[in-house]
Structure 1
Amino acid sequence: MKRAFLVAGGAFAALVAYPAMAQEERDAPPPPPPADAPTVYDGDWISVGAGVGYGPSYEGSDDYVLFPAPLVMGQIGPVGISPRAGGVALDFIPSADGEVDFDFGVAARLRSNRASQIEDAVVEAAGELDRAVEVGPTAGVSFPGVLNPYDSLSFTTDVKWDVAGAHKGMTISPGVAYFTPLSRGMAAALSVSAEYGDDDYADYYYSVTPAQSAASATAGEGALPLYQADGGFNKVGATLLLAYDLDGDLTNGGLSLVGIGGYSSMLGDAKRTPYTSVRGDADQWFAGLGIGYTF
């Protein structure tokens, strides 16, 4: 039972990839069943799911859109699979039951910022951007049994480079997540995270070039002012996730519902860029609802 909650907790905490602020609510942990009780997490397992998210049409936008949110996570042999925003991470270090867990592997994501669904006419006129494919190492550590026998506190950092030739830069994404069961069939995860982008990344997403400024004027609402962005931390925030197993038992797999909500704030040149300060908003909200199946 304890191993099942910790494995499920790592998976749920990994899902919390969108930064936001939220208050944590906890209840007493469930009474432990026999230590040798079988669970779906004892061997290889996979969770797949799909849902819908509601968030800004681009990073820094004040227009909101619906978008699909697929999910895959699990454990195949020694390889752990964890979701990331727009991607996935693989952990190649086997976990030990009830002990401090170290992670090291590779993370990848598809970044579609300002590549589609641009609702602001001026920003759309400035031109869509190419999608970036970011790949790089991920490392972390997780401490079980922090406040109760079934919770965990995890620290992770992803370092990724664009290999598709879009922004051609590097991002660093540190985060901390706390997972705890609220009952035998319900669990919660609270995550706080940030993102750093280098000069190439910031220039691609937050600078306004003379060509972009001239193109934006064709929307008839005035041209975006010229702006040169430099690298630095571009956002910070936290997210709260709740998961509920439909048969009331998280440890036996099957269908579950997942809800997520969060808030993030744009920082530095990501906040000062005209894409945010003139046409958007530094305050960014996010919500999502999905259904998954574990087997």
Structure 2
Amino acid sequence: MSAKILMPLALAAAAVFVTPAAAQEASAPVQPTEFDFNRDTITVGAAGVYLSDYEGSNDYRFTAAPGAVGSIKGYGFVLAGNRISVDLIRDKPGPVWDLQAGPIGVVNFNRSSLKSIDDPRVRALGKVDTAIELGGYVGIGKTGVITSPYDQLSATVSYRHDVANAHDSGIWQPSVNYITPLSEKMAVAIFASAERAGRGYATTYFSVSPTQTLASGLPTYNARAGWKNYSLGGLYTYSLTGNLLKGFKIVAGGTYVRMLNGFADSPLVRIAGSRNQWLGAVGLAYTF
């Protein structure tokens, strides 16, 4: 998963943390009259993010990312920075199996601005047009699996394809996520994900043509489709006012991404960057 896609995930996690299943304390459940567990809920916020200049870079910078997440009449949505998804299968209350499916869209800004890239060799390759990646996802989740009746485990797989002719190829992404509340005010999550990118993606972002070699000094390279990376991360949220269902909360997260195969062997990664990618985010959100 690229840094541009990952950067708002700390805010996106707040959508899960404010669901009714995560609102109770495992050791001391809140009285049902205190909350309406089936009510609509929306969380909005913003995060400061530390991320790499481009996918595979070893230079980092700070930026900001907005987010809005929630559930309306059982239908969930996530708008997180450059990524949006909607679950079109209505959620059922309680510790039940949750089927998930819906559309997903990503605006991929990777290398679309030379001003955000420090390495002069990579700048010399030229900028890439912004990609508009549209597709869908399916998944399954379960509430009440390990630590309490309120923790959640889910697995999803998504596919999106660039419709703006920037890289004109697709990305498959399987993911596994686990979330558990620690109290009425605090919750944590861990996740694992991987991405398989098509030939067009590899050529656009990781190949170096002979002309680009003359301009940058990086060796010519022909990248191929395949598994691009895997990522491991964790998230934490703490309610500053009220509880996980209402009020202000702080959300923080960190992610490690490992570039793989021919993508990791690209001169943009092997010479000008690093196979090891890191991301950190701290945000403030409000649930109402």
Could you say which residue in structure 1 is the equivalent of 2:7? none
Correspondence list, 1:99-248, <5 A = 99-116=96-113, 117-147=116-146, 148-216=148-216, 223-247=217-241
Pick the aligned partner of 1:52 from 48, 51, 56. Answer: 48
Identify if the C-alpha distance between structure 1 residues 88 and 30 changes in structure 2 by more than 3 Å, giving closer, same or farther. Answer: farther
- Quote the RMSD (CA, aligned, Å): 2.0
Counterpart CA distance in 1 for 2:73 and 2:160 is 25
Counterpart CA distance in 2 for 1:135 and 1:112 is 14
Counterpart CA distance in 1 for 2:218 and 2:14 is 39
Residue 93 of structure 2 is aligned to residue 97 of structure 1:
yes
Counterpart CA distance in 2 for 1:235 and 1:229 is 14
Could you say which residue in structure 1 is the equivalent of 2:29? 32
Question: What TM-score, normalized by structure 2, do the two folds share?
Answer: 0.88
Counterpart CA distance in 1 for 2:224 and 2:240 is 47
Residue 71 of structure 2 is aligned to residue 75 of structure 1:
yes
Greater RCO structure (CA 8 Å; 6+ sep): 1
Counterpart CA distance in 2 for 1:151 and 1:205 is 38
Could you say which residue in structure 1 is the equivalent of 2:266? 273
Moved over 6 A (4+): 13-16
Q: Give the drift of 1:157.
A: 1.3
Counterpart CA distance in 2 for 1:65 and 1:127 is 19
Identify if the C-alpha distance between structure 1 residues 241 and 134 changes in structure 2 by more than 3 Å, giving closer, same or farther. Answer: same
Uncovered stretches (5+) of structure 2, i.e. residues with no partner:
1-11, 18-24
Identify if the C-alpha distance between structure 1 residues 83 and 175 changes in structure 2 by more than 3 Å, giving closer, same or farther. Answer: farther
Q: Give the drift of 1:36.
A: 4.5
- Checking the alignment, whether the CA contact within 8 Å between 1:127 and 1:215 is kept in structure 2 is no
Q: Give the drift of 1:37.
A: 3.5
- The one-letter code sitting in structure 2 at the alignment partner of 1:35 is P
Identify if the C-alpha distance between structure 1 residues 85 and 193 changes in structure 2 by more than 3 Å, giving closer, same or farther. Answer: farther
Question: What TM-score, normalized by structure 1, do the two folds share?
Answer: 0.86
* 1:13-32 Cα distance to aligned partner (Å, 9 max, x none): 7789xxxxxxxxxxx83411
Identity of aligned residues (%): 37
**SS of residue in 2 equivalent to 1:126:** coil
